[in-house]
Structure 1
Amino acid sequence: MRFAMNHIAAPGLSLEAFFTMARKLGAAEVEIRNDLPDIVSTLSASEVRDMASTAGVRIISINALYPFNQWSGDLPDRAEALADYAAACGAKALVMCPLNDGRTVTFDDLVAALSALKPLLEARGLTGLVEPLGFPVSSLRSKAQAISAIEAAGGAQTYRLVHDTFHHHLAGEREFFPEWTGLVHISGVTDPDIAVDAMLDPHRGLVDARDRLGNLDQIRTLLAGGYDGPFSFEPFSPQVHALSDPETALRDSMSHVIAHV
């Protein structure tokens, strides 16, 4: 398995310290963010590139362009600026998340957004990583629908999916698409009382023996299907973020996954 680290796994660390931690954990691939923490607005692309080079890590994505499927307002300008930053800092891809506030986005609008983003990404040598969100209010919950839209936009060479184990579980998806998957996000939910439809980002911790999302089964299925990309830790839990020693907690979770996959 190839593990990667999303900066949200330890948002209290500076970018330099985060890169150093990831490398010590044996995760040479990292994701930076433009929200928590907001690296894009606080550091120049050249600073990020130099820090990654010094630490010996590769930036696999910036997380995230939102809401990518509503191609209006300032989104085109924001998309171009984020793509420019990604190319300049050495990132290989942009994670793209759909509108997630209860409003519907039509399939035609989804295709139109993917069509508009395609030349922007291609010109910079970037992959668009489409991440369906499993929340009931999400405008794109299904990976199957995302693939249909990608094909309709002629984007099979430009786009790949993010398989997020949390969102896969929330959406109730049964089908896996390892051949379409470019990145896997892993996190676990251990609260025994929360209903699936009520699960939210703050419930997402690290993967351990109490996990309710079936992370281990999902990982086994993806590997058996030929997926050979990174598995990136993406916990949103405030309890994880408050840990004084995130490195040890992440190492323990990695060991649990390795021992049972």
Structure 2
Amino acid sequence: MARGAELFALNHMAAPKLHLPELFALAQALGITRVEIRNDLAANAILDGTPAVEVGAAAEGAGIEIVSINALQRFNDWSPTREREAVELADYAAGAGARALVLVPRNDGEGRGDGERLPNLTVALKALRPILEQRGLIGLVEPLGFEICSLRLKSEAVTGIDAVGGGSVFKLVHDTFHHHLAGEETLFADRTGLVHISGVDDPAIAVGDMRDSHRVLVDGGDRLCNLGQIRALRGAGYAGPLSFEPFAESVQRLDAAHIRESLAASMAFVTAGVVS
């Protein structure tokens, strides 16, 4: 096991070409015991129709904990359609033995008004609360730092969670990329259930122009202050996993051997920077 492996989780987006058994094997090889699976990868579970119970059994057999299913999209744009999607995903998460369901807000420039954001958020959280509670799941609310997003700030997410009395059901995702883009200083470590980590190395791109396609593994060229964010979160009491979530093609097109090497190098870099 690599030094510090217990700090990390592996989001399937880090190796989207791998099928779940291969992803679990990659995690095992790195000493990682926690994985996030996704519902947006073609020819892969969940979209390929693999039953939840099979996913759960494969994870258990590999000694892997499914941290979350990522994600219910546009969760704060509540509608009968969104409710059906939420129930289906929550049923799948529970059937697979996942601990949580990631909730991603609308990110198309709509629903951003001062009179819209909080009402839309609280309506969705109020409706989601019983769906999650009945299945023993945590809802992981993930604000996105993009200027067009309808929920950029963790402070606003916390306000909505508290408005529906949902502190025991809803936690935050602290995404180091989105935290940097949003420019929010408060960490809310005690309200955080999961941390996503990725870096941006491109020295030419302005912060306001950073997109998912720029997100690589965290290394010495990182501009997002991942190490500073992680140290601050851990110092404030966060003890959960740091889940790798790069989106750049330069990472995603790597084969299993090379992504293992790259992840191991990033794990070593982060561990050296945050563990005294």
TM bucket by the smaller chain? Answer: over 0.9
Work out the CA distance in 1 between the residues paired with 2:72 and 2:28. 26
Asked if structure 1 preserves the Cα contact closer than 8 Å seen for 2:41 and 2:47, the reply is no
Amino acid at match of 2:95: A
Q: CA RMSD, aligned part only? A: 0.9
Q: Structure 2, unaligned stretches of length 5 or more?
A: 1-5
Work out the CA distance in 2 between the residues paired with 1:166 and 1:239. 17
Q: Counterpart of 1:26?
A: 31
1:107-186 pair list within 5 angstroms:
107-186=118-197
SS at match of 1:139: coil
Q: Counterpart of 1:69?
A: 76
Is the deviation greater in 96-105 or in 203-212? 96-105
Work out the CA distance in 1 between the residues paired with 2:187 and 2:86. 28
Work out the CA distance in 2 between the residues paired with 1:133 and 1:222. 18
Shift of 1:116: 0.3
Q: Counterpart of 1:41?
A: 47
Q: Structure 1, unaligned stretches of length 5 or more?
A: none
Q: Counterpart of 2:273?
A: 260
Work out the CA distance in 1 between the residues paired with 2:52 and 2:80. 25
Asked if structure 1 preserves the Cα contact closer than 8 Å seen for 2:138 and 2:170, the reply is yes
Q: Where in structure 1 do 4 or more consecutive aligned residues deviate above 6 Å?
A: none
Work out the CA distance in 2 between the residues paired with 1:157 and 1:227. 16
Work out the CA distance in 2 between the residues paired with 1:21 and 1:8. 13
Work out which of the residue numbers 16, 30, 33 in structure 2 matches 1:11. Answer: 16
Is the deviation greater in 219-228 or in 237-246? 237-246
Q: Counterpart of 1:235?
A: 246
How many residue pairs get aligned? The number is 261
Work out the CA distance in 1 between the residues paired with 2:168 and 2:243. 22
SS at match of 2:17: coil
Amino acid at match of 1:75: R
Amino acid at match of 1:39: A
Work out the CA distance in 2 between the residues paired with 1:99 and 1:150. 17
Work out the CA distance in 2 between the residues paired with 1:46 and 1:22. 20
Q: Deviations over 1:21-59 (max 9, x none)?
A: 112111100000001355212111011011101111000
SS at match of 2:239: coil
Q: Deviations over 1:51-105 (max 9, x none)?
A: 1011110001000001110111410001000000000000010000000000025
Q: Deviations over 1:150-189 (max 9, x none)?
A: 0001101100000000000000111111100000000000
Shift of 1:260: 1.4
Work out the CA distance in 2 between the residues paired with 1:249 and 1:127. 31
TM-score of the superposed pair, with normalisation by structure 2:
0.93
Q: Deviations over 1:205-257 (max 9, x none)?
A: 00000000000000000000000000000000001011121111000000001
TM-score of the superposed pair, with normalisation by structure 1:
0.98
Work out the CA distance in 1 between the residues paired with 2:80 and 2:129. 18
